[in-house]
Structure 1
Amino acid sequence: MLFPVLFQLGPLLAVIFLQHPPLANTAAIEMDRTSEQVEASIVDPDQECTPYNYAPVTNQLNSFPQVWGPASILPEDSAALATWNSISATIPTSIAKKTQPPPSSYPSSDPDCWWTYGQCTTPKLAGLPPDVTAASEPSTLGYGFDDGPNCSHNAFYDFLQSQNQKATFYFIGSNVADWPLEAQRALVDGHEICALTTFSSEDAFAELWYAMQMIKLVVGVTPTCWRPPYGDVDDRIRSIAHALGLQTIMWEYDTADASVDGKTITDQTVENNYNDFIQKAESGAFNLTGTILLTHELNNFTMSEAVSFYPQLKNIFQHLVPVGVSLNKTQPYVETNYSLPTFEQYISGTLTGSRVSPNSTTVLPSSTSSASPPPSVSSSIDSPSPNAATSAIKSGYDTVLLAAFFVTLSCSLQTALH
């Protein structure tokens, strides 16, 4: 039968080319990497992950803590200091700062609702909302990926685009600084952006503040949602996030795709986790209330696994939507020039909300960029990024489009056969 073969072939090709991209053209012509559109068009995997300067970021780096280092409030940052002074009185001082793993002396009653200790997601401190752990709509997967933007994500984003699929991306501030044009693509493509801090830092305020500010500087929007690193959050950190207007997004199930060590967690472990999750969905576990699955944009493996299992997730869930859409959260950013569609609008085919130029009241077509990223400026290849490990990641771009074509074709054939 033609359909089953094609249905399996599309994701398989995508996985093959993500994990084993074609040999890069080492003599690739230098591109003027000054805009999101140019960056998104790069097909050479070596060039895609070659570090570059982006002046709006490099000109402001002195206003941020060291990239890929623990954050603390800079003494001259009057805005950060003023914000901290305005909320510090609401932050509990009775909750001790945590270290991992949880010490044996920590009370078994879990008074601080420490997720790392007992997966607590309903705060015990008065006035704090529960963490979001699931999509509220039936048979719905809150679809999203941590640890971006990844330098080699063009192939993955093109795959999502070919499927008319939007997602929530949890961006690390230092990754945004390293790969600003890649960060801009997420908004241009209509995805939802949330913040993700790098460290379980003692100075949670500084980590969150500067992650939000970097995303604002680069992409033009300020997130109102965040995810703690490794899920390590307690009521002290929740109170800081809440005071900053951030909704805490957790998950119910973990693929462990970012934890592969070749020993206790292998590639097969991740595939087993995906399959177990799919079987749970098949059993009807999410028929009344949806869920959130933890997956990552971290590297070729995590992205290729996402491509590989996409058809099965799409088949077993009625809806795959960004987390904000699943919550009917139409205002995803502090800025009001961009909105998400409601859940009903999304599943009816309106995949992006209204997008308004910040300098006018004109509503732009939903297919255009709405965030008005910083203007393009001259840039050049500079010294290697601090994130050398991420820079080393490579992926195939144009070939994954071929795989996406097969997925689309197979879905069309499935519709025709039914």
Structure 2
Amino acid sequence: MRSHSSIAATALMLLGVRAAVSSESDEAALTDMTSECTPYSYAPVAAAESQFPPIWTPVSAMVSKSDAGYAKFISINASIPNIAPKGVLGVPDQTIVSGYNPADPDCWWTVTQCVTPKVSGVKGDIAAAPEPRTLGYGFDDGPNCSHNAFYDYLTEKNQKATMFYIGSNVLDWPLQAQRAVADGHEICVHTWSHRSMTAFTNEQAFGELWYAMQAIKLVTGVTPTCWRPPLGDVDDRIRYIAQQLGLQNILWKYNSNDWAVNTTGITEATVQGNYDALIAAVGAGTFDTTGAIMLTHELNNYTMQTALDNYPKLAAAFDHIVPVGVSLNKTQPYVETNYTLPSFDAYNAARASGGSSSASSGSPAASGGSGSKSGSAAGNQATGGTSAGFVLQVSTLTLGLVVLGAALAL
């Protein structure tokens, strides 16, 4: 079976598309989706390709028994909670789901939305912004190759967010990933291949996190200390593994369901209704003591456009919209100490005064060059509405990207 990147590369070659960018600033300046989603070369990724599993392929085992990742896994394996995988290679076993003990011994979020672990020493999940009338703002599944209009809008609004990046997407679209750091957003891990984490063995689950962390470090120069499980699928075994890698688990209590639009009975009206319900809850006093986190996505043109369309309404309803890390007063978001986020008070004071709310940094981004990795994350692009003059456009790549969308569908 071909990887998503090879499918993408083939489709794009058939469309006669060629690479033409060499730096993050070059990529960020592009305004046409055809250009944004053109595969390009990046030397650090090409040089390190053998150190990673095939992109978009679930981690079946650690790539090398002699690297630091495998040594780290061996050092923690004996202490991992004795909870059996709930599926095979990232695919859930529905008989396990349906037959799961209702007492919830594993604190399995998928079934019970449990966020307080049952295993001693395992830290609880973050599912809400702790500050009152505050939205912990973030987006899953990036970096999307065509996200420039979306990120431009956030820049215009001096708005930072938490970006939950998939490792395979980062290697597909490294310059787009670098933009998150350049723009002052917070990056968290969203695994290597975006599969159900409780359906992996210990080694596989470790690898899904490890390789995503290494991809982000390779491309951006920073190592995240936060993560979000795809579909929220986590139990105490997976929490423990993530904790040993220094990753704080970020979940949510409100779900836009934007990723599922036009599938499983979810319509655009359903998604808008979910946004409207969150906004109404602010007015009803639901968040007067503790804020909110809503699940939204950078997945495709529709999800990004919907976020743009709803941003003014969210900003009018909430007192503060901040990255999740800022809501937690987590001023050091990465392992590297040369990069800091502002505190909650400092972030909001800067916005109120019209100053920059950006993070401060040394020079975390990796250097670029030429090499090979073709992009594949551009699937499912769709038309949208408008917001503050921004429209996420569909280009002549649309037909080819529809094909890719089918291949990349969640």
TM-score (norm 1): 0.81
Answering whether residue 397 of structure 2 is matched by residue 352 of structure 1, we say no
> Which residue is equivalent to 1:62?
50
Structure 1 residue 268 displacement after superposition? 1.1
Q: In the alignment, is the contact (CA less than 8 A) between 1:196 and 1:228 conserved in 2?
A: yes
Deviations 1:200-230 (A, max 9, x none): 2411100000000000000000000000010
Distance across 2 between alignment mates of 1:36 and 1:401: 25
What residue identity is the alignment partner of 2:233? D
Of 168, 182, 199, the residue aligned with 2:195 is: 199
Matches within 5 A, 1:288-307: 288-307=289-308
What residue identity is the alignment partner of 1:167? A
> Which residue is equivalent to 1:277?
278
Of 64, 83, 99, the residue aligned with 2:72 is: 83
Structure 1 residue 81 displacement after superposition? 1.2
Of 171, 182, 185, the residue aligned with 1:188 is: 182
What SS does structure 2 have at the residue aligned with 1:325?
A: helix
Distance across 2 between alignment mates of 1:76 and 1:50: 35
How has the CA–CA distance of structure 1 residues 44 and 401 changed in structure 2, closer, same or farther, with 3 Å as cutoff? farther
Distance across 2 between alignment mates of 1:251 and 1:153: 23
Structure 1 residue 395 displacement after superposition? 7.8
Structure 1 residue 108 displacement after superposition? 0.7
What SS does structure 1 have at the residue aligned with 2:259?
A: coil
How has the CA–CA distance of structure 1 residues 400 and 317 changed in structure 2, closer, same or farther, with 3 Å as cutoff? closer
Tell me which structure has the larger Cα radius of gyration.
1
> Which residue is equivalent to 1:265?
266
Q: In the alignment, is the contact (CA less than 8 A) between 2:19 and 2:38 conserved in 1?
A: no
Distance across 2 between alignment mates of 1:55 and 1:76: 25
Of 156, 165, 169, the residue aligned with 2:163 is: 169
Q: In the alignment, is the contact (CA less than 8 A) between 1:158 and 1:401 conserved in 2?
A: no
Q: In the alignment, is the contact (CA less than 8 A) between 1:152 and 1:394 conserved in 2?
A: no
Q: Say which structure, 1 or 2, has more relative contact order (CA 8 Å, 6+ apart).
A: 1
Q: In the alignment, is the contact (CA less than 8 A) between 1:51 and 1:391 conserved in 2?
A: no
Distance across 2 between alignment mates of 1:321 and 1:238: 25
Distance across 2 between alignment mates of 1:212 and 1:183: 13
What residue identity is the alignment partner of 1:133? A
Instruction: List gaps (5 residues or longer) in structure 1.
Output: 1-25, 357-369, 405-418
> Which residue is equivalent to 2:86?
98
Distance across 2 between alignment mates of 1:179 and 1:137: 34
Distance across 2 between alignment mates of 1:216 and 1:327: 23
Q: In the alignment, is the contact (CA less than 8 A) between 2:228 and 2:251 conserved in 1?
A: yes
Structure 1 residue 393 displacement after superposition? 3.2
How has the CA–CA distance of structure 1 residues 402 and 269 changed in structure 2, closer, same or farther, with 3 Å as cutoff? closer
Distance across 1 between alignment mates of 2:36 and 2:388: 16
What residue identity is the alignment partner of 1:376? G
Structure 1 residue 263 displacement after superposition? 4.9
Structure 1 residue 199 displacement after superposition? 1.4
What SS does structure 1 have at the residue aligned with 2:294?
A: strand
Structure 1 residue 260 displacement after superposition? 1.5
Distance across 1 between alignment mates of 2:388 and 2:66: 45
Distance across 2 between alignment mates of 1:341 and 1:392: 35
Deviations 1:111-158 (A, max 9, x none): 000001100000000001110001111100000000000000000000
Distance across 2 between alignment mates of 1:400 and 1:219: 29
Structure 1 residue 74 displacement after superposition? 1.2
Deviations 1:248-289 (A, max 9, x none): 000010000001234511111101111111111111100111
Distance across 1 between alignment mates of 2:210 and 2:264: 36
Structure 1 residue 379 displacement after superposition? 5.3
How has the CA–CA distance of structure 1 residues 246 and 86 changed in structure 2, closer, same or farther, with 3 Å as cutoff? same
> Which residue is equivalent to 2:396?
none
Answering whether residue 384 of structure 2 is matched by residue 393 of structure 1, we say no
> Which residue is equivalent to 1:317?
318
**Please, which moves more after superposition, 79-88 or 172-181?**
79-88
Q: What's the RMSD between the two structures over aligned residues?
A: 2.1
TM-score (norm 2): 0.83
> Which residue is equivalent to 2:116?
122
Matches within 5 A, 1:376-387: 376-378=368-370, 385=375, 387=376
Answering whether residue 367 of structure 2 is matched by residue 375 of structure 1, we say yes
Distance across 1 between alignment mates of 2:205 and 2:312: 38
Instruction: List gaps (5 residues or longer) in structure 2.
Output: 1-14, 351-355, 392-410
Q: In the alignment, is the contact (CA less than 8 A) between 1:152 and 1:395 conserved in 2?
A: no
Distance across 1 between alignment mates of 2:342 and 2:239: 27
